[in-house]
């Protein structure tokens, strides 16, 4: 198979791929360029919903992107030669308020790994942690399997 012969992943393949991973790139569009953030997530294949947490320092640049609730993309990919796979989910991030948190949310966020890139100069007490979800309005997946040389 050549790069020109990408194969669209099935709904089942996409669900298995997303539930088997926990790191994505969240891309938030802006008129002056896209803002991309690595996030850890948990995917619920039953309702195509991603759960993730965001940490905001005081005066955070990314806070503005979330306040505007743009249509965002979550990109999950795997490069494991000779196989390459990627899934793009589109939807709007929605903050989960404290009043909305239920057992399902607690389980979803409890199953997520803590990202290695959670490093800040600020003291943790000065950081705002918020929970978000994205209901995927669309999910597309591609895979390429190259012949081994």
Over the stretch 51-89, which tens digit does the pLDDT of each residue have? 888 877 777 777 777 777 778 999 999 998 888 999 999
DSSP-H helix ranges across the chain: 11-19, 61-67, 103-110
Give the lowest-confidence range in 36-40, 85-89, 90-94, 110-114.
Answer: 110-114
Q: Rounded to whole angstroms, how far apart are CA atoms 79 and 12?
A: 20
Phi and psi at residue 128, to the nearest 5°: -100, 120
The third-level CATH classification (topology) of the domain covering 3-143 is Pnp Oxidase; Chain A (2.30.110)
pTM for this entry = 0.80
Q: Are 52 and 40 in contact (CB under 8 A)?
A: yes
Please report which residue ranges of 20-148 form alpha helices under DSSP H.
Answer: 61-67, 103-110
Domain boundaries of the chain, sorted by first residue? 3-143
Q: How far is CA 145 from CA 16, 89, 137, 142, in A?
A: 17, 22, 27, 10
Q: How confident is the model at residue 136 (pLDDT cuts 50, 70, 90)?
A: very high
Q: Which pLDDT tens digit goes with each residue over 9-47?
A: 999 999 999 999 989 999 988 778 888 888 889 899 999
CB atoms within 10 A of CB 55: 15
**Predicted confidence (pLDDT) at residue 1 exceeds the cutoff of 50:** no
């Amino acid at each position: 198979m050549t790069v020109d012969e990408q194969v669209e992943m099935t709904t089942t393949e996409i669900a298995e791929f997303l539930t088997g991973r926990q790191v994505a790139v969240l891309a938030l569009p802006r008129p002056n360029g896209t803002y991309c953030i690595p996030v850890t997530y948990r995917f619920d294949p039953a309702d195509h919903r991603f759960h993730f947490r965001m940490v905001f320092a005081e005066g955070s640049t990314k806070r503005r992107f979330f306040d505007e609730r743009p249509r965002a993309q979550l990109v999950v990919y795997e490069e494991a030669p000779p196989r390459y796979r990627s899934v793009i989910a589109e939807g709007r991030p929605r903050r989960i308020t404290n009043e909305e948190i239920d057992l399902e949310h607690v389980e979803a966020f409890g199953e997520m790994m803590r990202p290695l890139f959670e490093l800040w100069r600020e003291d943790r007490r000065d950081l705002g942690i918020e929970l978000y979800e994205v209901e995927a309005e669309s999910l597309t997946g591609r895979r390429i399997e190259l012949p081994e040389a």
